[in-house]
Amino acid sequence: MLEGPTIGVLALQGDVREHLAALTAAGARAVAVRRERELAEVDGLVLPGGESTTIDRLLRTFELREPLRERIAGGLPVYGSCAGMVLLADRVLDGAPDQRTLGGLDITVRRNAFGRQVESWEEDLPVEGVTDGGHDVRAVFIRAPWVERAGEGVRVLARVGSGPAAGRIVAVRSGDLLATSFHPEITGDDRVHRYFVGLVRDRVRGRVREERRG
């Protein structure tokens, strides 16, 4: 039986511990990533919620920005939640003047689209590939972004179902890149993480098959 893949959580700022716990529950070997050598050892990576501008600055301080961009371009599976979605987006609206992203997802996101932290809210949402045949995911939005536009190669997995933001895109996937506006890691429901672990496991299996053929 194939062992669980090694999945890192970028541990510079944000809700790192919660993601590590959710990944472990989902069957992965979860590790914190703060250095380039740690990044080189993972099969997949989670970019946690937090403050996207702060994480951007810390990526440069820890000299992780370019190595991570290279790994994303090379096919590393990555899941970004909330601030992580902003970091994966190719384009950001309402960002800080010097804010840069890692890119990789052909989406335009609006930063802090749902308002300030006091305006945080929750909703049960169907998420394609996660809730198929099951109950909805409790989506917790905390100073969350939403997707203004998704490119042709991006699959929309979830939209807000009610209220003023009804119809807004809040979960997407493109290849092995996954992003949500909400925070599944704080709800005790590990299905989104299981979905991502499955993506990473499939990628590892494909790599092993290619190595054996080579």
Q: Is 3 exposed, middle or buried (0-12, 13-18, 19+ CB in 10 A)?
A: exposed
Residue in 68, 21, 26, 74 with CA at minimum distance from that of residue 45: 68
- Among the listed residues 18, 123, 185, 193, the single catalytic one is 185
| Mean pLDDT in residue range 133-149 | 93
pTM given for the model: 0.94
For position 2, what pLDDT does the model report?
53
pLDDT of res. 118 = 45
pLDDT of residue 1: 41
CA 38 to centroid of chain Cα atoms: 18
Domains with residue ranges and CATH for the chain: 6-213 (3.40.50.880)
Task: Return the higher-pLDDT residue of 143 and 72.
Answer: 72
Residues 6+ apart with CB under 8 A from 191: 130, 131, 134, 137, 184
166-to-9, 44, 111, 144, 163 alpha-carbon distances in Å: 31, 32, 17, 14, 5
Distance CA 174, CA 56 (A): 22
Looking at per-residue confidence, does 7 or 214 come out higher?
7
Average pLDDT of the chain is: 93
214 — pLDDT class (breaks 50, 70, 90): low
Asked if 183 is an active-site residue, the reply is yes
Task: Look at residues 92, 114, 107 and name the one whose alpha carbon lies nearest to residue 172.
Answer: 107
- The catalytically annotated residue of 19, 82, 123, 193 is 82
Which one of 18, 19, 123, 183 is the catalytic residue?
Answer: 183
What tokens were used for 89?
Answer: 């987006």
Q: What confidence tens digit (pLDDT) does each residue in 33-50 have?
A: 999 999 999 999 999 999
Can you tell me the mean pLDDT for 23-27? 97
C-beta separation of 154 from 172 below 8 A = yes
CB 72 within 8 A of CB 86: no
> Using one digit for the tens of pLDDT, what is the confidence trace for 11-20?
999 999 999 9
pLDDT at 97: 81
Q: What is the spatial distance between Cα 156 and Cα 204, in angstroms, rounded to a whole number?
A: 24
For residue 193, indicate whether it is catalytic. Answer: no
Shortest CA distance to 47 belongs to which of 93, 97, 85? 85
Task: Judge whether 185 counts as a catalytic residue.
Answer: yes
Per residue in 78-126, pLDDT (tens digit) is: 999 999 999 999 999 987 888 899 999 999 999 988 876 546 789 999 9
Mean of pLDDT values over 172-178 = 98
Distance CA 162, CA 87 (A): 26
What band does 27 get if pLDDT is binned at 50, 70 and 90?
very high
Closest CA to 98 of 62, 56, 69, 64: 56
